[in-house]
């Protein structure tokens, strides 16, 4: 099956801003979204308590940056997303919360460039699963490492795959149950599950958690941590050596 183009993905997110605009639920279609948002931002703030510059890759409507600002309120924030409506909503919410936005970039991370050592913290929530071949993954992870200052950290919450077909099927089932329950079960829940699974199949090419951990090490990250895993979702990250 041919995967969705970047433009097709952008159009879907342009029309799905509201689902990404709740700080209490996060991206509800993912499992443990509020918990992982809390864990990722807490880990980033603990690792880099004196951070001054944040990059939020695939910022959506700004949930992760808002949560990050609750912990480190003086951060200067750079936002990046494919979707202009998402960026606009993120800017509105972050500005209303008193956050400082230094840049809002509508772009694909694969096409983006920042000076080496621009950021202390980089967050990437529910975005990297859109990367395709292994070389794209390597190029993006190398860029994250390069854009960080020494001692900076990179944190991810994302959809992951599994090497074992049996385990993949099990985790798919668990995710499906989560989606059905979100809509109260019954036909409405099943229809929602099927709709989510359809766009996941069309858009996503995730990689296994340990594969991504190995890639973090390969590009130079140290002190790598797995914060949480439930079903086909995981939160993890690493620090650039000082």
Q: Give the pLDDT score at 14.
A: 86
Closest CA to 37 of 48, 50, 49, 22: 22
In angstroms, the CA 77 to CA 55 distance is 6
Which residue numbers in the chain have pLDDT < 50?
A: none
CB-based contacts of 127, cutoff 8 Å, min separation 6 = 57, 58, 109, 158
The residue count for the chain: 242
Answer CATH for 6-162+206-239 from 3.40.50.720, 3.40.50.150, 3.30.390.10, 3.40.920.10 = 3.40.50.150
Q: Give the pLDDT score at 115.
A: 98
Q: Give the pLDDT score at 231.
A: 96
Looking from the CA of 23 toward its CB, the CA atoms found within 13 Å total 16
Q: Give the pLDDT score at 181.
A: 96
In angstroms, the CA 192 to CA 22 distance is 19
Structure tokens at 68: 């990050």
- List 103's β-bridge partners, or say none: 78
Identify the residue whose tokens are 């695939």.
Answer: 58
Note whether 233 and 157 are within 8 A (CB): yes
Note whether 205 and 195 are within 8 A (CB): no
Note whether 183 and 192 are within 8 A (CB): yes
Q: Give the pLDDT score at 139.
A: 97
Q: Give the pLDDT score at 21.
A: 80
Q: Give the pLDDT score at 22.
A: 81
Coil, strand, or helix at residue 80?
strand
How many helices (H) and strands (E) are present in the chain, helices listed first? 8, 7
Q: Give the pLDDT score at 24.
A: 78
Instruction: From residue 234, give the alpha-carbon distance in Å to each of 97, 129, 154, 191.
Output: 28, 12, 14, 25
Identify the residue whose tokens are 């808002």.
Answer: 66
Q: At what angle do helices 33-47 and 63-71 cross, to 10 degrees?
A: 40
In angstroms, the CA 158 to CA 204 distance is 11
């Amino acid at each position: 099956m041919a995967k969705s183009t970047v433009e097709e993905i952008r159009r879907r997110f342009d029309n799905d801003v509201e689902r990404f605009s709740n700080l209490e639920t996060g991206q509800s279609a993912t499992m443990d979204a509020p918990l992982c948002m809390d864990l990722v931002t807490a880990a980033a703030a603990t690792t880099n308590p004196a951070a001054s510059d944040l990059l939020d890759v695939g910022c959506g409507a700004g949930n992760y940056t808002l949560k990050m600002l609750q912990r480190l309120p003086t951060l200067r924030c750079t936002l990046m997303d494919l979707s202009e409506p998402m960026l606009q909503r993120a800017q509105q919410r972050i500005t209303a919360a008193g956050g400082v936005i230094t840049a809002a970039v509508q772009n694909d991370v694969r096409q983006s460039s920042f000076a080496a050592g621009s950021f202390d913290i980089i967050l990437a929530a529910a975005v990297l699963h859109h990367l395709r071949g292994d070389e794209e993954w390597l190029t993006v992870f190398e860029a994250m490492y390069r854009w960080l200052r020494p001692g900076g950290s990179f944190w991810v919450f994302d959809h992951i795959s599994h090497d074992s077909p049996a385990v993949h099927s099990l985790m798919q089932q668990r995710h499906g149950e989560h989606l059905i329950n979100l809509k109260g079960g019954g036909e409405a829940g099943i229809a929602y599950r099927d709709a989510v699974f359809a766009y996941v199949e069309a858009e996503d090419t995730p990689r296994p958690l340990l594969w991504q951990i190995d890639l973090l090490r390969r590009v130079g990250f140290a002190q790598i941590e797995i914060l949480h895993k439930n079903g086909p979702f995981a939160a993890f990250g690493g620090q650039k050596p000082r």
